[in-house]
């Protein structure tokens, strides 16, 4: 986790694409909340704040937000109860759960209650932003595609083949999975933790940066011999596959 | 509450009282039987003899008439068998017999009577027992016995019986009281000890009498529990002082850096300090998370979170995750994993433990000669166990240090120059314990081999 050098690129990018989101933050810690709101707004999104569970539930029920960021421990009504209530009322807004409880068991509890992603405190803002944007995309993504595309790279999920500019690229199964996740999130930053969780399904910190080497191996396979690198490193944040 | 009232309130005493009642009733029944069979038997025999004599004489009277029966009576008296006879006319005159007169209470319907008699020259008064019957013609016939000795014998036996009953009850009661008091004293000992322990003296132990009875067994198991608690408490104390040290040191560094950056006016320097601070806080966070993972594994309450899993699969995945980085570092990672190894495992924790082992091997496993780490990860089944090993080609760990490195925050001097928090192997150790397995560190000659053994699930499950 490192502070990204600059958010402005993302911000401009989002505004240009009209991908600004309306995000509801349900968080009782004033300082954490204002820092979060400031960060989200700087990234080009619109953010609302609810300082306790009841207000949060009432605002979330209106279902006008693209993503909810819900703290687990809240005054009046706890985070998991909010999510359960919303899901019972068929409100499907994607939810990112924030919690100081980092246990795998706690994560499972959160996801079972109807949360879509789980982030343990403390977190880097870049990590949170990448996940929130990922959630909003997942909402629009049917997940039924059998072909994925980013620039001149194409993936066939059925035959498990990859081509770039028509040239076949041979990938190991894990590399294929890694590329699939990156391409599904093409145009957006994907953090190392997101990769570790989604591609390897590991929810612990391996201490050594094992992911970087995997990504650079993948890069050498898909970018070698092409002028325009497709898989970019976003300094201090993660990786991104260009979509244009 | 006085000590005595406590005895009466104790459950032991209540038990003793109940037993005492049963005891007294059964002793009483035995004594009554003895009485009935001794004194009672003699009395019954006497009565039988008298009744037969009365019957016999009545028959004689019917056959032989008054004179005949008087003859028989006189003959019997002369024989001196000790029986008392008396036959009187309706007018009350004595016809035959060895009594001076008919006892005054021998009136009316035939019945048993007791009456005083005078015996011998000393004119001692004895008790006689007789049966009288009225014969036809208004004559009264009385046959009796001197039952003085019998009565005395009966009284003696009766007294003996009563005294022994009393004695039995007193002894039973006293014994019960003694047992109760003794038992209570031991219970009080345990209560007192537990109170002292509750007040904070964990070194205190329950008194054990050495008899090996139920109370001793209770005290012994309580003591074992206390020892376990004391060990845990000591471990916790040690951990918290270690945590305090290992978290305070980087915090102090951070604080100093931020302070000097605040004093400095150079934005470049401030930015560098902030970046360094984030890096350091991330490191602190890692330490903290590792501690939490260890605590979670040690609490053991995730044991129910263990699911059937293939250990071979988990090993293959982690080896695959690490292979590129090991090669990048100029080493090699060779995985020798075949087939499936069904175990009960928490995939995340087991993978984390393995990743710690591989991470360690990568950090400390370089050969001195070539400066390359050759790692070998193996997994196979052996005697009902899944045996997973990670070996390197480094300098290894001296045999006498191997158990020490499993403790939290212990870092050997040789490793202090490398990044790390001294928690990696502790986490592995507690994770493996949670899985009901063992971790052993050995010599890979050269290098270190860490071996995990997990119980395999029986086939077909």
CATH number at residue B104: 3.30.450.20
Residues B334 and B310 in one domain: yes
Average pLDDT over residues A33-58: 90
Query: Chain A partners of B281 at a C-beta cutoff of 8 Å?
Result: 122
Total domain count, chain B:
4
* B52 and B28, same domain (yes or no): no
pLDDT tens digits, residue range B356-378? Answer: 899 888 888 777 777 778 899 99
Give the rounded percent of residues in chain A with a pLDDT score beyond 90.
Answer: 28
Count Cα atoms within 13 angstroms, Cβ side, for A226. 19
Q: Which among B275, B289, B349 has CB closest to A205?
A: B289
Instruction: Write out pLDDT tens, residues B129-151.
Output: 888 888 888 888 888 888 888 88
Range of the domain at B166: 3-37+154-193
Cβ separation A105–B278 shorter than 8 A: no
**How far, in whole angstroms, is CA B170 from its chain's centroid?**
31
Q: Is the peptide bond before A94 cis (omega within 30 degrees of 0)?
A: no
Distance from CA of B455 to the nearest CA of A (A): 23
In the predicted model, what is the mean pLDDT of residues B187-203? 85
Examine the domain organization and report whether B58 and B123 are in the same domain: yes
Question: Model confidence over B83-103: pLDDT tens digits?
Answer: 888 888 888 788 888 887 788
How confident is the model at residue A239, as a pLDDT?
Answer: 93
Chain B residues with beta carbon closer than 8 angstroms to that of A212: 325
Q: How does residue B415 score in pLDDT terms, banded at 50, 70 and 90?
A: low
Could you name the CATH architecture of A8-140? 3-Layer(aba) Sandwich (3.40)
Which of B23, B297, B458 is closest to A105 using CA atoms?
Answer: B297
Q: Could you tell me which residues come within 8 angstroms of residue B292 by beta carbon, excluding any fewer than 6 positions away?
A: A102, A103
For A81-86, what is the mean pLDDT?
92
Query: How far is the C-alpha of B43 from the C-alpha of B36, rounded, in Å?
Result: 10
The strand pairing partners of B96, in sequence order, are B87
Contacts of A132 (CB under 8 A, 6+ apart): A21, A23, A40, A45, A67, A69, A96
* Beta bridge partners of residue B140, listed in sequence order: B88, B134
The order of strands in the sheet holding B448-455 is B332-337, B374-382, B385-391, B448-455, B438-443
Residue range A126-182, pLDDT digits in tens = 889 999 988 888 766 656 678 888 888 889 888 889 998 888 999 999 999 999 999
Q: At residue B153, does pLDDT exceed 50?
A: yes
Long-range contacts made by residues B432-440, C-beta under 8 angstroms, separation at least 24? B432/B353, B433/B297, B433/B298, B434/B297, B434/B298, B434/B300, B434/B302, B434/B303, B434/B306, B434/B346, B434/B349, B435/B306, B435/B343, B435/B344, B435/B345, B435/B346, B435/B349, B435/B350, B436/B344, B437/B385, B439/B406
Residue with tokens 């009661």: B173
In a domain, B461, yes or no: no
More reliable by pLDDT, A5 or B418: B418
CA distances to A218, A230, B392 from A224, in Å: 10, 10, 34
Q: Judge: A105–B305 Cβ closer than 8 Å, yes or no.
A: yes
Shared domain for B237 and B369, answered yes or no, is no
Task: Say if the Cβ atoms of B321 and A203 lie within 8 Å.
Answer: no
Q: Is A3 on the interface with B (CB under 8 A)?
A: yes
Chain A residues with beta carbon closer than 8 angstroms to that of B282: 1
* In chain A, where the domains are located: 8-140, 147-241
Q: Is A143 on the interface with B (CB under 8 A)?
A: no
Mutating which of A173, A208, A236 best tests the B interface, going by the most B Cβ atoms within 10 A? A208
- Residue B29 and residue B40: Cα distance in Å, rounded? 15
E strand residue ranges, B270-367: 307-310, 332-337, 342-345
| Nearest residue on chain B to A206, alpha-carbon basis | B355
Spatial distance between the Cα atoms of B223 and B212, rounded to a whole number of angstroms? 14
Q: Does A123 lie at the interface with B, CB-CB under 8 angstroms? A: no
Taking CA–CA distances from B285, the nearest residue in chain A reads: A122
Q: Which residue of B lies nearest to A197 if distances are taken between CA atoms?
A: B348
Please, what CATH class does the domain formed by A147-241 belong to? mainly alpha
Contacts of A209 in chain B (CB under 8 A): 325
The CB density around residue A126, as the number of other CB atoms within 10 Å, is: 22
B398 and B249 inside one domain: no
Query: How many other C-beta atoms lie within 10 A of the C-beta of residue B131?
Result: 20
Query: b vs e for B146-183, b when ≥16 Cβ sit within 10 Å of the residue's Cβ?
Result: bbbebbeebeebeeebeeebeebbeebeeebbeebbeb
B328 part of a folded domain: yes
Would you say residue B208 lies in a domain?
A: no
Confidence of residue A11 (pLDDT cuts 50, 70, 90): very low
Same domain, B99 and B172: no
In this predicted structure, the answer to whether residue B81 has a pLDDT above a threshold of 80 is: no
Average pLDDT score over residue span B14-43: 85
Q: How far apart are CA B84 and CA B145, in angstroms?
A: 5
Q: Which helix (H) or strand (E) holds B320?
A: helix B311-328
- Residue of A205, A210, A221 best to disrupt the B interface, most CBs of B under 10 A: A210
pLDDT exceeds cutoff 60 at A12: no
Q: Is A193 helix (H, G, I), strand (E, B) or coil?
A: helix
Mutation target for A interface from B355, B375, B427, B428: give the one with most A CBs within 10 A: B355
Q: Mention every residue, 6+ apart, whose C-beta is less than 8 A from residue B62.
A: B136
- Do B321 and B432 share a structural domain? yes
Contacts of B423 (CB under 8 A, 6+ apart): B287, B290, B291, B294, B408, B409
Residue A64 is classified by DSSP as: -
Q: Are A2 and B275 in contact (CB < 8 Å)? A: yes
* A22-61 residues touching B, CB cutoff 8 A: none
Residues A178/A200, Cβ–Cβ less than 8 Å: no
User: Environment class of residue A231 by beta-carbon count within 10 Å: exposed (0-12), middle (13-18) or buried (19+)?
Assistant: buried
Q: Are A96 and A125 in contact (CB under 8 A)?
A: no
Average pLDDT of chain B to the nearest whole number: 83
Cβ–Cβ of A210/B325 closer than 8 Å? yes
Q: Does residue B200 belong to any structural domain of this protein?
A: no
Q: In percent, how much of chain B has pLDDT > 70?
A: 93
A236 touches chain B (CB under 8 A): no
Q: Is the domain of B344 the same as that of B440?
A: yes
For residue B188, being part of any structural domain is answered with: yes
CB atoms within 10 A of CB A114: 18
User: Where among B270, B297, B324 does a domain terminate?
Assistant: B297
Q: At what angle do helices A79-88 and A104-112 cross, to 10 degrees?
A: 30
Answer yes or no: do B365 and B335 share one domain: yes
A162, A171 Cβ separation under 8 angstroms: yes
Please tell me which of A13-17, A88-92, A120-124 the model is most confident about, judged by mean pLDDT. A88-92
Q: Across the interface, do B275 and A210 touch by the CB < 8 Å criterion?
A: no
**In this model, does residue B417 exceed pLDDT 50?**
yes
Mean pLDDT across chain A, nearest whole number? 84
Q: Tokens representing B186?
A: 């031991």
Within 8 A of A122 by CB-CB distance, chain B residues are 281, 285
pLDDT reported for residue A7: 43
Q: What is Dmax (Cα atoms) for chain A? A: 59
Instruction: Judge contact between A58 and A28, C-beta under 8 A.
Output: no
Specify the pTM. Answer: 0.63
Q: Which of A3, A206, A213 sits opposite B278 (nearest CB)?
A: A3
Mutate to test the interface with B, among A213, A221, A236 (most CBs of B within 10 A): A213
- Interchain CB distance below 8 Å, A207 and B286: yes
Residue B324 lies inside a defined structural domain of this protein? yes
Q: What is the pLDDT of residues B23-33, one digit of tens each?
A: 889 888 988 88
Question: How large is the average pLDDT for residues B323-345?
Answer: 89
* B394-399, long-range: CB < 8 A, 24+ apart: B394/B361, B394/B364, B394/B365, B394/B366, B394/B367, B394/B368, B394/B446, B394/B447, B394/B448, B395/B364, B395/B368, B395/B446, B395/B447, B396/B443, B396/B444, B396/B446, B396/B447, B396/B448, B397/B441, B397/B448, B399/B443
Do residues B138 and B232 both lie within one domain? no
Same structural domain, B94 and B180: no
**SS3 (DSSP) at A145:** coil
Domain boundary among the residues B297, B328, B355 is at: B297
Instruction: Note the pLDDT of residue A84.
Output: 93
Nearest to A213 among B286, B328, B351 (CB): B328
Examine the domain organization and report whether B425 and B353 are in the same domain: yes
Higher pLDDT, A183 or B238: A183
Q: What is the dihedral of CA B165, B168, B174, B176, to 10 degrees?
A: -120
């Amino acid at each position: 986790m490192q502070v990204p050098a600059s958010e402005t690129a993302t911000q401009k990018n989002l505004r240009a694409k009209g991908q600004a989101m309306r995000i509801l933050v349900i968080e009782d810690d004033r300082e954490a909340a204002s820092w979060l709101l400031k960060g989200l707004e700087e990234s080009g999104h619109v953010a609302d704040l609810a300082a306790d569970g009841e207000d949060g539930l009432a605002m979330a029920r209106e279902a006008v937000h693209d993503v909810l960021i819900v703290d687990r421990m809240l005054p009046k009504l706890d985070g998991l109860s909010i999510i359960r209530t919303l899901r019972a009322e068929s409100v499907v807004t994607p939810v990112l759960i924030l919690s100081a409880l980092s246990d795998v068991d706690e994560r499972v509890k959160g996801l079972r209650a109807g949360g879509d992603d789980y982030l343990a405190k403390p977190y880097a803002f870049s990590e949170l932003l990448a996940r929130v944007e990922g959630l909003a995309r997942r909402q629009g993504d049917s997940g039924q595609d059998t072909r994925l595309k980013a620039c001149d790279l194409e993936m066939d999920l059925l035959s498990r083949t990859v081509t770039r500019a028509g040239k076949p690229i041979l990938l190991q199964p894990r590399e294929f999975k890694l590329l699939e996740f990156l391409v599904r999130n093409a145009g957006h930053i994907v953090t190392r933790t997101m990769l570790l969780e989604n591609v390897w399904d590991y929810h612990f910190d391996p201490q050594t940066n094992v992911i970087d080497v995997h990504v650079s191996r993948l890069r050498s396979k898909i970018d070698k011999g092409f002028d325009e690198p497709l898989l970019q490193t976003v300094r201090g944040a993660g990786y991104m596959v260009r979509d244009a | 509450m006085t000590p005595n009232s406590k005895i009466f309130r104790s459950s032991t005493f209540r038990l003793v009282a109940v037993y005492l009642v049963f005891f007294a009733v059964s002793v009483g029944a035995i004594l009554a039987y003895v009485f009935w069979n001794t004194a009672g038997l003699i009395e019954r025999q006497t009565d039988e003899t008298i009744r037969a004599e009365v019957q016999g004489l009545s028959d004689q009277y019917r056959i032989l008439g008054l004179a005949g029966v008087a003859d028989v009576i006189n003959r019997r008296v002369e024989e001196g068998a000790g029986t008392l006879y008396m036959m009187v006319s309706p007018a009350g005159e004595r016809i035959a017999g060895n009594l001076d007169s008919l006892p005054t209470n021998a009136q009316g319907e035939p019945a048993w009577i007791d009456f005083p008699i005078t015996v011998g020259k000393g004119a001692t008064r004895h008790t006689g027992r007789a049966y009288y019957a009225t014969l036809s013609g208004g004559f009264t016939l009385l046959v009796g016995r001197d039952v003085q000795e019998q009565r005395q014998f009966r009284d003696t036996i009766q007294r003996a019986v009563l005294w022994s009953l009393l004695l039995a009850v007193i002894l039973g009661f006293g014994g019960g009281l003694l047992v109760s008091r003794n038992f209570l004293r031991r219970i009080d000992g345990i209560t007192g000890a537990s109170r002292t322990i509750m007040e904070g003296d964990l070194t205190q132990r329950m008194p054990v009498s050495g008899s090996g009875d139920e109370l001793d067994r209770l005290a012994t198991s309580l003591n074992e529990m206390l020892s376990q608690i004391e060990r845990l408490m000591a471990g916790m104390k040690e951990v918290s002082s270690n945590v305090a040290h290992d978290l305070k040191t980087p915090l102090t560094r951070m604080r100093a850096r931020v302070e000097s950056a605040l004093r400095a006016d150079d934005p470049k320097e401030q930015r560098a300090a902030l970046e360094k601070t984030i890096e350091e806080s991330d490191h602190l966070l890692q330490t903290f998370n590792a501690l939490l993972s260890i605590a979670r594994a040690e609490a053991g309450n995730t044991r129910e979170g263990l699911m059937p899993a293939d250990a071979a699969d988990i090993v293959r995945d982690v080896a695959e995750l690490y292979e590129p980085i090991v090669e990048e570092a100029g080493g090699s990672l060779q995985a020798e994993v075949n087939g499936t190894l069904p175990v009960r495992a928490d995939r995340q924790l087991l993978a984390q433990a393995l990743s710690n082992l591989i991470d360690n091997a990568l950090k400390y496993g370089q050969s001195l000669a070539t400066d390359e780490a050759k790692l070998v990860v193996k997994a196979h089944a052996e005697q009902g166990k899944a045996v997973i090993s990670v070996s390197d080609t480094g300098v290894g760990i001296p045999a006498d240090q191997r158990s020490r490195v499993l403790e939290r925050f212990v870092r050997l001097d040789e490793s202090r120059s490398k990044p790390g928090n001294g928690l990696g192997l502790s986490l592995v150790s507690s994770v493996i314990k949670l899985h009901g397995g063992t971790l052993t560190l050995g010599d890979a000659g050269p290098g270190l081999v860490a071996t995990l053994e997990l119980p395999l699930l029986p086939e077909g499950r």
